[in-house]
Every structure is written in structure tokens, then in C-alpha cells.
Amino acid sequence: MKVRPMRRWSWKDFWLLTMVLPGAIWLLLIRYLPMLGVVIAFKDYKAQKPNTFWNNLMKSKWVGLKNFAFLKSPATVTMIRNTLLYNGVWIVLVLVLAVTLAVMMSELKNRFAAKAYQTMMFFPYFLSWVVASYFVLAFLDPTSGMIPSIQKSLGLKPTQFYMTTTWWPLILTISNLWKNVGYSSVLYLAAITGIDTTLYEAAAVDGATKWQQVWHVTLPGIRPMIVILLIMSVGKIFNADFGLFYNVPQNSGPLYPVTQVIDTYVYNTYANTHNLGMSAAAGLLQSVVGCICIVITNGVVRKIDAESSLF
């Protein structure tokens, strides 16, 4: 990529260049050089003579779009639907809930309590999904989980949670909100505390009630933050949180209609076939779609509010 000369070159540019150098070298070596590997998505990758990676990469047969043929599977519709639907719904839910909680926290008179809530809400962010899955299991385990045990003691037939799809959209949603709402709301809270307080005073002078202040001052004040987080999550709408969909439902087969997402499908398929080309193809696809999503969202945002757009 050539940069067209704009100003006269100066020593300043040289010094600034030395600053970006470590990062740039890192990027070129560890991110850009391996990008040559995307050709694997279009090749039948096999060991050649001599068996070195670059030689294999160069000499393996081109197979066109054959590695993408896994998309023809009937499961494709389900997994794409699940990925998009869950992500879509969650983007909205996390946004609404996190903003609501943040507003509530900012309005608490007891600052100590606000601080305590905030610290606690950040906590789930530290736990991995593997650990979180034990917690869900503790409630739902068919043999010794809390809910089936209670049902049994009441003489009811225990629900087979890991066999029936009914509850899972709800369980996954709760799990996801549990993990992410606290973190986001802390971000929004920070944004709210950054709002210029004179705006509230002016609103109060105009006779605005507290609800009106929230609506007309707080929400517009955190709009840039909302937009940035929104663009980021829309860019990842094709990427599902693997641990959530794999560990939390214990990879239980009968739940696949509501738990299978692109990432778990690719993982399970790779575990079955160990086909490098297929997983490279899936990764490429997610990258391209993510790229398109980010560009589109960013474009829409720029139309509405140029200030808030990402680039």
C-alpha cells in the first residue's frame, strides 16, 4: 500500500515511525504472514515432497469451492438461523438491560452501594464458560441437579432439561445476560458519569422531571458509547460465543436444534473429519461476513451520526 505524499518528510515522521515499528513488525509477522494460509480454504491440503509447510501450501491441488460444500448440509439453515437470532436478540437485550441498570446505578443516592453493585456485576466476566457450565449443571443435572431434585421431592416427574429443547433459548439467554450485562453496564455507567453536569442543571431549571432528564440528557449523552459497542457486536454477529453454546448445554445432541451455532458446528465437524480445508473455509467465511457487517453498520451509522462512526 502506497501512501501518497502529502507533506514534506521530516524527522518527526521518523521518530513516530520508530514508535509504531514494534507493533507493525508484530502485525506483519504474526498476523499478515500467516494470511497466506487462507489459500488452504481453496486447496486439498496434503503433505508434499519435501514435507514442509510452505511447500505443502504451494504444491497442494486447487479444489475451488469444494471446501465450502459443507454449507450444503441441512444443518446449515439451523445453525445460521440460531447464530443470527441469538446474537441479534442479545445485542438488543444486553443494550437495553445494561443501559437500564447503568441509569439506575447512576441515580442511587447511596454511593457505597452503587460501588458494591458495580464491583459485583463485573465479576462474571472473570469466570470461563467451562466454570459457568458447572453452575448451570448444578441446577439442571438430571440426576442430582437442584431443580430435578426439588421436582422429585414434590412427587413431580423431573424435567429432562438436557433432552428437551423447550427451555434452552431461555437458559442460554439468561447465561449470556448474566455474563455480559454487568460488564456492559459498568461501561455505560462510566459514560454516564462523564456527562457534563451542567446539562442536568439546565434541564432542571427548565422544569424537567427526573424521568425527562434521563430521557433527554442521559441517553443522548451515552449515544457514542452505545454506537461503538453496537458496531463491534454487529461485526461479530456471525461469530457465536463457543463456550456458551458448547459447554453450557453439555454438547447434548437432542438440544442441537436450538444450540447448534456456526462455531460449534465447525468444531464438531472438525472433530469428526479433521479436514483442515473445511475449517479454513468456515473461518474465511466468518471473516468475510464479519467484514461486510462492520462496513454496512458503520456506513449506516455514518449516515445517521457521522461523529459516532468507527471509521
Q: Kindly tell me which of 86 and 124 has the beta carbon lying closer to other proteins.
A: 124
- Residue 201: CB minimum distance to other proteins, A: 6
- Residue 257: CB minimum distance to other proteins, A: 8
Site map 192..221 versus other proteins, x via CB under 8 A: -xx--x--xx--x----xx-----------
Give, as ranges, the residues between 138 and 177 that touch other proteins (CB under 8 A).
138, 141-146, 149, 160, 162-163
135 binds other proteins (CB under 8 A): yes
Q: Kindly tell me which of 57 and 93 has the beta carbon lying closer to other proteins.
A: 57
Judged by CB under 8 A, how many residues of this single chain contact other proteins? 139
45 binds other proteins (CB under 8 A): yes
Q: Considering just the CA atoms, what is the radius of gyration of the chain in Å?
A: 25
Can you give the length of the chain in residues?
A: 311
CA-to-CA separations, 266 to 192, 251, 260, in angstroms, rounded: 40, 13, 10
304 binds other proteins (CB under 8 A): no
Dihedral sign of CA atoms 249, 255, 256, 261 in order:
negative
Report d(CA 42, CA 38) in Å as an integer: 8
- Residue 228: CB minimum distance to other proteins, A: 5
Reduced to 3 states, what is the DSSP secondary structure of residue 48?
coil
Question: 86: closest CA among 285, 261, 291, 267?
Answer: 261
Residue 30 is given by DSSP the state I
Give, as ranges, the residues between 95 and 134 that touch other proteins (CB under 8 A).
101, 104-111, 113, 116-124, 126-128, 130-132, 134
Site map 249..278 versus other proteins, x via CB under 8 A: -xxxxx-xx--x----x--xx-xxxxxx-x
**Look-up of cell digits 423447550:** 166
Q: Kindly tell me which of 45 and 90 has the beta carbon lying closer to other proteins.
A: 45
Report d(CA 275, CA 67) in Å as an integer: 9
12 binds other proteins (CB under 8 A): yes
72 binds other proteins (CB under 8 A): yes
Give, as ranges, the residues between 232 and 251 that touch other proteins (CB under 8 A).
235, 247, 250-251
Reduced to 3 states, what is the DSSP secondary structure of residue 117?
helix
**Whether the Cβ atoms of residue 126 and residue 182 lie closer than 8 Å to each other:** no
- Residue 81: CB minimum distance to other proteins, A: 15
Question: 178: closest CA among 93, 83, 112, 237?
Answer: 93
- Residue 93: CB minimum distance to other proteins, A: 14
Report d(CA 204, CA 208) in Å as an integer: 5
Residue 208 is given by DSSP the state -
- Residue 170: CB minimum distance to other proteins, A: 15
